[in-house]
Structure 1
Amino acid sequence: MKNKRRDFLKLTGMTGLGLATGGLSSVFGATVNHSNAMEKNSALKNAIVDDKNSSVIGAYGKWAAGLIDNKLPALSFRKKEFTNLDAWKKDARKRLTERLAIPEMGGTPVVTVKKQYSYDGLHIEELSWQLPYGAATDAILLKPVNAKGKLPGVLAFHDHGGVKYFGTRKITRTSDTLHPLMAEHQKFYYEDLAWANEVAKRGYVVLVSDAFPFASRRVLMNDVAPESLRHGLTDDDPESVEHIEAYNKWASDHEHIMSKSLYSAGTTWAGVFFGEDKKALDILCNRPDVDVKNIGCCGLSGGGMRTVFMAGQDDRIKCAVCVGFMTTWRDFVLNKSVNHTWMTYVPLLPNELDFPEILGLRVPLPTMVLNDTEDELYTLDEMKSADKILAEVYAKAGATDRYKCNYYPGPHKFDKKMQADAFNWFDKWLKG
């Protein structure tokens, strides 16, 4: 059973992004075992809509896509009337901020250093800070041992993966002992590497924090009411595999409730993400060992989504690498909303900016996008459409050399080759 679940997570990129542990099984009808090629192909066929008259919302798909098809969004820099880059950027970012409805989070939080030590050639700090709501945010900071002076910084975003029990541990290693679920996670999606450690070793100060609502920021069962919503779960035995898998399934099913509650509160999940990630960026920039003129950000999947919103809005991010999260709103409408988290969507924004144009708001700052050609979470045609959109934005701004998009064979991942290309991009623009 464990192998079947592992293979199913591989097939879906672990990202039904909130659905991989539960919702996608209702699409596929059963857990998928890769050893059964016929079953695998059937599952993939169900996940990718080939019929132009069909969609994940049936016959309504063609009509819904038509609402945004065949016209440029109102604030697209590709429109002829936008000739002043700075003026366009100011107006478009203002509208994006309005759509995100970012909640007030106060000033820069006070950071507590809980522990410091060395591991695998890195100086590691276990940090925490308190935002105005929820439990304290836990974070990991990594940099080379005995580093001198100011180093370029990287804000490293962990993935979603349908695994809300973990956060920073998905992309870091702080000892030789890994939780078995995280060893499996890093093996499948990062080719057995903790990529935050790997980029830190190249001479960066790297900050990884738990996102809302993951790990230290996750929803605790004892706080959920009514009790019937807990499905009999408690916060006991927290590190057992059985408890974690049950919690992740619960958190997947709970995601629509969280999203609807946030919308009802007058904010968006993407807005909460950005607000909290901006606090982490503030903390990174305030460190005396960080060169604030040379900071990058990067992440796979849900971390790629966070990269899009952060890098698109904050010019302190001088270099950005978005991994495994680039397509168009059209792809979500017709094909792929079933694969993705509620965290992605910003009401009304598709009328004003296509999804890649959010990242394009950072033009002419250096930007890299890394795509997997067999990524189950997007259609290849729409990944290429997103690539074309970003290329047009950068060309119009006279910054063609600062945008790069690479394609790699295989499913949803951030493997050694992709990591090497990402880190080389950082070296070029943050150290060059």
Structure 2
Amino acid sequence: MSVTSAKVLSLSLAFIISCTAAFAQQVKSDVANFYSLLNGYSSKSNASLSYLSKEPKNTEKWRKSARAKLHELLAFDPEPAPLNTKVLSTTKRDGYTQHLVRYNVNNLQKTEAFLLVPDNITKPAPAVIALHDHGGFYFYGKEKHTFTDNQPLILKEYIQNLYEGRHYADELARRGFVVLCPDAIYFGSQKIDPAQLVNTKGYFDKVEDADESERIKLFNKQVAGPNEVAMNKTILTSGTTWLGIIAQNDRVAVDFLLSRPEVDPERIGCIGLSLGGLRSTYLFGLDPRIKTGVVAAFSTTYQHMLQQHAHHTWMMYVPRQYEFLDLPDVASLNAPRPLMVMNCKQDKLFNLAGMQAAEQKLSTIYTKMKAPEKFSTKYYDEPHSMTIPMQEDAISWLEKWLK
């Protein structure tokens, strides 16, 4: 081989090796080669209103300013309406009474909720708003963590899978909490109506001869799930956000509890799993009437979601929020009020690094506010769920700070 050929071969091998090394160093992402563009843009200026960005001397002024910006970004400010509460049914259960109620959440929407009132209340009691999950199960909302009679098999299996078969809202009621379990928009009493869809793709033919569980499954998989995309596009076109609607509805749940003589207005908390954890994050952060919160299986940072796992329900995304507030920053808006975050190590919706980054941010904020004991993060070697041990830890936390 000539000297020239040897040099050419050497240069070629060096080029191949360098390209291979560069390829190996590339970050794998849900958006492939576009990750560098989007991550670079977001890194330019993010979470500018975080408590950690400037460490404001006037905490209340910071809190007011950050909440106002978040309210602006959520972009849902409908005309209010009187609650006009109607009790649709009342059922005596073991240790409590279950009321099915309907009330206005604004002048355009109503929702239904279960109100659970413990037996033998002699004075205003602590209350908890229990916020249901998503799970791709739209046919029901509040029923996923509240006991109901004659449950179809598909619902029983769902509750067994996510909650180890226990209805944690009822457990809270048996332990002395007044509990409100409202339906979010797109679930349960607020679910989408197939009869008003432009194209149902043969849905009605399929459900005609199906049993109850199969009909529910078809509704979830063929109607509600696929139409999340059109729903979110239409919500954005209308000038609002899906999470804005949810958050406004959930804040009216506080109004509802305050209308009840059984409730102590100074002892109201919130709890939720998955989408319920996201709802709990926003309700806790936005509403100072909430005195303590529990977030289960919905904790991460937007930085980690940018690379991977930005594939959740359309309900969680708020345009431009990361510019001002990271996800854990939302919860920090009510700090140093007590907050517990429960993470599942086997959770496929979030990576462990994201959970730990969110924990670090919140832990630092609570420490700087001189209240580290009011923030707790726990990790469980479980998939995405709220197991009975998790429920027990959450109930203990709510009892500690509300009783």
Inter-partner Cα distance in structure 2 for 1:124 and 1:191: 22
Conserved in 2, the CA contact under 8 Å of 1:135 and 1:216?
A: no
Q: Which stretches in structure 1 are left out of the alignment for 5+ residues?
A: 1-49
Q: Map 1:198-209 to 2 at 5 A.
A: 198-209=171-182
CA distance in 1, matches of 2:26, 2:185: 37
* One of 154, 158, 161 as aligned partner of 2:128: 154
TM-score by length of 1: 0.84
Q: Is the 8 A contact 1:62 1:334 kept in 2?
A: no
SS at 1:322's partner residue? strand
Alpha carbon RMSD of aligned pairs, Å? 1.9
2:40 pairs, out of 44, 47, 66, with 66
Rounded Cα–Cα distance in structure 1 between residues aligned with 2:250 and 2:332:
19
Give 3-state SS (helix, strand or coil) of 1:253's partner.
coil
Structure 2: how far apart are the matches of 1:133 and 1:179?
A: 33
Worse-superposed segment, 387-396 or 62-71: 62-71
Aligned twin of 2:329: 357
For residues 58-115 of structure 1, the C-alpha deviation after alignment (integer angstroms, 9 at most, x for no partner) is 1111331233348652111102352221111111111001000013141341110111
Partner of 2:80, secondary structure, is coil
**Percent of residue pairs identical:** 34
SS of aligned partner of 2:54: coil
Q: Which residue of 2 aligns with 1:315?
A: 288
Pick from 137, 152, 157: which aligns with 2:111?
Answer: 137
Indicate conservation of the 8 Å contact 2:342/2:377, yes or no.
Answer: yes
Q: For the Cα contact (< 8 Å) 2:45–2:323, is it kept in 1?
A: no
Residues 367, 231 of structure 1: alpha-carbon distance in 2 compared, 3 angstrom cutoff: same
Structure with higher RCO (Cα < 8 A, 6+ apart): 1
For 2:210 and 2:60, the matched residues in 1 are separated by 50
Question: Residue 351 and residue 168 in structure 1: after superposition, are their counterparts in 2 closer, same or farther (change >3 A)?
Answer: same
Distance (Å, rounded) in 2 between the aligned partners of 1:159 and 1:421 = 19
Write the letter of the residue equivalent to 1:220.
D
> Which of these residues, 346, 362, 374, is aligned with residue 318 of structure 2?
346
| Residue 306 of structure 2 corresponds to residue 336 of structure 1 | no
Distance change (3 Å), C-alpha of 1:429 and 1:253? same
- Deviation string for 1:293-330 (max 9, x for gaps)? 00000000010010111110001110100001000112
| Aligned residues of 2:243 and 2:316 also touching (Cα < 8 A) | yes
Whether the 8 Å contact between 1:139 and 1:207 is mirrored in structure 2 is yes
1:381, distance to aligned residue in structure 2 (A) = 0.5
Partner Cα separation in structure 2 for residue 79 and residue 168 of structure 1: 38
Between the aligned partners of 2:140 and 2:210, the Cα distance in structure 1 is 11
1:263-412 correspondence to structure 2 within 5 Å: 263-338=236-311, 340-412=312-384
Code of the residue aligned with 2:49 in structure 1: it is L
Instruction: Note closer, same or farther for the CA distance 1:246–1:133 as it changes in structure 2 (3 Å cut).
Output: farther
Name the residue aligned to 1:25. Answer: none
Counterpart residue identity of residue 243, structure 2: A
Match of residue 416 from structure 1? 388
Change (3 A) 1:64 1:298: same
In the other structure, the counterpart of 2:154 is 181
CA shift for structure 1 position 239: 7.2
